[in-house]
Amino acid sequence: MGLFERFLTVWVGLGILVGVGLGLVVPGVFQGIAAIEFAHVNLVVAIFIWVMIYPMMIQIDWHAVKDVGRKPRGLILTLVVNWLIKPFTMAALGVLFFHYLFAPWVDPQSASEYIAGMILLGVAPCTAMVFVWSQLVKGDANYTLVQVSVNDIIMIFAFAPIAAFLLGVTRITVPWETLVLSTVLYVVLPLLAGMATRHLLERRSPHAVADFVGQLKPWSIVGLIATVVLLFGFQAQTIIDKPLVIAMIAVPLMVQTYGIFAISYVAARVLKLPHNVAGPACLIGTSNFFELAVAVAISLFGLNSGAALATVVGVLVEVPVMLSLVAIINRTPHWFIHTHAGQGPLSKGARS
The model's pTM: 0.75
Q: For residue 197, is pLDDT > 50?
A: yes
By the 8 A CB rule, do 106 and 114 touch?
yes
Share of the chain above pLDDT 70, in %: 82
Q: What percent of the chain has pLDDT over 90?
A: 26
- pLDDT computed for residue 94 by the predictor: 93
Mean pLDDT is highest, among 242-246, 251-255, 311-315, for 251-255
Q: How confident is the model at residue 176 (pLDDT cuts 50, 70, 90)?
A: low
Q: pLDDT class for 304, splitting at 50, 70, 90? A: low
Report all structural domains of the chain as residue ranges with CATH numbers, in order of start: 3-335 (1.20.1530.20)
**pLDDT band, very low/low/confident/very high, at 18 (cuts 50, 70, 90):** very high
- For 22-91, the DSSP string reads HHHH-HHHHHHHHT-EETTEEHHHHHHHHHHHHHHHHT--HHHHGGGGG-THHHHHHHHIIIIIHHHHHH
- Between 53 and 139, name the one with better pLDDT: 139
43: nearest Cα among 235, 184, 152: 184
**What average pLDDT does the structure give for the chain?**
81
State the Cα–Cα distance between residues 78 and 21, nearest whole angstrom. Answer: 37
pLDDT at 52 over 80: no
Residues contacting residue 83 through CB under 8 Å, at least 6 positions apart: 154, 158, 162
Kindly report, residue by residue over 68-100, the tens digit of the pLDDT: 667 788 889 989 999 999 999 999 999 999 999
Tell me the mean pLDDT in the region 286-303.
75
Label residue 339 by pLDDT band (50, 70, 90).
low
- Say if residue 300's pLDDT is above 50: yes
Q: What is the radius of gyration, based on Cα positions, of the chain?
A: 20
pLDDT of residue 271: 92
